[in-house]
Amino acid sequence: MESVPAIAVRNLRFHYPGEKLPAVDDITLSIDTGSCFGLLGPNGAGKSTLLALLTGILLPQHGDIRINGERLSNTRKLHEYISLVPQDYAFYPTLTLQENLDCFAGFYGLQGAHKRARIDFAVQVCGLDDLLHQRASSCSGGVRRRLNLALGLLNQPELLFLDEPTVGIDAQSRHFILESIAGLQRAGMTIIYTSHYMEEIQSICDAIAIIDHGKLLVQDSLANILARAADMPALPARQNAQRLEDFYLSLTHHALRD
Amino acid sequence: MTALIATIKKELLLLLRDIHGLLLLFVMPVAFILIMSLALQSQFAQNAGGQKIAVLVDDQARSDSAASVIKLLEQRDVFSWHVTDTLSAPEKIRHDEAAFLLTLQQNNNDLHAEILVAPATNPQIEAIFTAVVGEAMSKQRIEALLRNIKMKRALDSDFSLDDGIDEDALNSNPVTIQYSYQKNQTTSVQPASAQPTSVQQSVPAWLVFAMFFSVVPLANTLISERQQGTLRRLRTLPVPLALPVIGKLVPYFVINQIQVLLMLTVGVYLMPLFGADSLTLGHSLAGLLLMSVCLSIAALGYGILIAVVARTTDQATTLGGVGNILLAALGGIMVPRFVMPDSMQQIAGFSPMAWGLEGFLDIFLRSGGVKDVLPEAGSLFLFGAVTIALALVLFRRNT
């Protein structure tokens, strides 16, 4: 019996008022439960709008979204088992890390021992143990990124949406975060990951979709896409490790987007 | 409920760490109260000392005797005398626009004075005024009598005093008193024209100003949440969409009440240490609480609306700050309403800050109670309810 995908999207369309073209234009895709799914696209391709639609921030104007086989209608219920880690440092900089964790745990309705256990889990996964009493504003970019991730883990989500979670941090922090994400996936969490760093996608994702101008250009497993990239004529001075980027650029072209 | 408690706790922590916000909400108004009360102390005292009791005079007699009485009365400069012949004079008295209406009527040779007393006129002032009018009428009668005697003597050398004096007319009471309200009915509020001292004006004025200034920290936190992406994140949490807005109202309401306590404490205990009067709080704790609650609702409604409309903290600070200063200038905070010309006083009535200030002055200055501040409290509550509702609609639409 075929397993139900974590996310199934059919003919999804969203058009912002006043814009000429739709931000999401007839996208159909499927994300397997327990996978780490990479969502790629240049700036303005429609990734953020697609994430907003999948997380219930925006409601689809056309098409259908199914989460674990159920049509997305009750966003309040959806928000109990999904989590979005935005690209921005979406927390309160003048509060300490502990206060931020307490505050967001409160937003999830967590109390008492249950709350403490969830906070301990998030702190452990993100390596924040010794930093809890520091104000977020005084922490390094790497710690802030880890706090951003930790806040997204407080409800122990089945689906975790990560929007460029490693922007602007050093190699050590990036390595730590990628390891943590891989660990979460191994524990059974479905991860939807957007990034502009191809090597990150290559290192942690098992399936990929590339979108541009609101349209889905390709969706396949990482292995298949790398195989297709291998068939492409090699670009001068390009290394094998950059095959995914070559393939991505061949689809989205080299023209600057902003 | 857990989410709401978390929001409230978060807002309080954010405010406690916002040194500029704290200075704006607590230190600025205390400084204003101290500076303005002390700077304007002598000016207010002069004003209060120079205040005259308004009397309308309706000269229906139009006789020499009446003119003579008016001339005598005008020498009493504790009263300001305004000759009127309008039919609306009794109406003005009923509305306390003047303390008395004095009507002079001529019955044959007798001049008769009728006094209409305004509802808020102090009984002691009434007694003094009655005596003043009685004295003027008596003087006029004596002068008329002497003139009459002199004239009769000149015409008749056998004239005797027993022949020429109408004792009934001489003994009749030339002054009658009427009331524009039911006598013995206690009126709690002092005349609207009663003027405050510098402390009585400054403490409630700058308290109202400070409460409306919660717009700045309130708007800044909401705009920061929007700019930092926290609002977007909250949209993916199982909490009501309006939580970030509702969650701000509760802690800032508490902050407003702390402001009320602090400013009143400054007025009552700190001002006398600087040689100024102590603030008198009136007799109605319930009225004070009602005003405090309704004023806070209005201030928070205004603040949250600015927070939702402004896109940046600069916009919020400019819009909220300049808006506050305009409302304050218009509403009698910076310039007391009683020194404004009539037309400006009418315009001032449109500022919610004026409603707040008048409500507090009703309690502190005019010994008013809940019933007396209901119009101001009701207007503030309505203003707050409408602005909060509008802010929620705009927030839902924009988020």
- Domains in chain A, CATH or no CATH each: 7-252 (3.40.50.300)
| pLDDT the model gives residue B162 | 64
- Distance, CA of A80 to CA of A38 (rounded, Å): 23
Pairing state between β A24-31 and A7-14 = antiparallel
- Of the candidates A88, A107, A111, which has its C-beta nearest B237's C-beta? A107
Per-residue pLDDT tens over the stretch B91-124: 888 777 788 899 988 877 778 888 888 877 777 7
Whether B232 sits inside 8 A of A105 (CB atoms) is no
- Distance, CA of B37 to CA of B34 (rounded, Å): 5
- Of the candidates B3, B236, B243, which has its C-beta nearest A84's C-beta? B236
Give residues with Cβ within 8 angstroms of B166, minimum separation 6: none
Whether A104 sits inside 8 A of B237 (CB atoms) is yes
Whether A106 sits inside 8 A of B237 (CB atoms) is no
Structural domains of chain B in order of their starting residue, each with its CATH number: 2-46+195-398 (no CATH), 52-179 (3.40.1710)
Q: What is the band of B306 on the pLDDT scale with cuts at 50, 70, 90?
A: very high
Per-residue pLDDT tens over the stretch A224-252: 888 877 776 665 555 555 777 777 776 77
Q: How far is B310 from chain A (nearest CA, A)?
A: 20
State the sign of the Cα–Cα–Cα–Cα dihedral B236, B241, B247, B252: positive
- Distance, CA of B353 to CA of B215 (rounded, Å): 14
Per-residue pLDDT tens over the stretch B174-226: 777 777 666 554 444 455 555 677 888 889 999 999 999 999 999 989 999 99
Q: Exposure of A210 by Cβ count < 10 A (0-12 exposed, 13-18 middle, 19+ buried)?
A: buried
Give the mutation candidate from A107, A116, A156 for the B interface (greatest B CB count, under 10 A). A107
Per-residue pLDDT tens over the stretch B361-386: 888 887 788 998 999 999 999 999 99
Question: Which residue in this structure is represented by tokens 């240490």?
Answer: B273
- Distance, CA of B216 to CA of B294 (rounded, Å): 19
Comparison of pLDDT for A1 and B40, the residue scoring more: B40
Length of chain B: 399
Identify the CA nearest to A163 among candidates A200, A131, A202: A200
- The nearest alpha carbon in chain B to A163 belongs to B233
- Of the candidates A57, A99, A103, which has its C-beta nearest B232's C-beta? A57
**What ipTM is given for this predicted complex?**
0.85
- Of the candidates B9, B13, B233, which has its C-beta nearest A84's C-beta? B233
**How many contacts (CB atoms, under 8 Å) link A and B?**
83
Per-residue pLDDT tens over the stretch A177-194: 899 999 999 999 999 999
Q: How far is B200 from chain A (nearest CA, A)?
A: 39
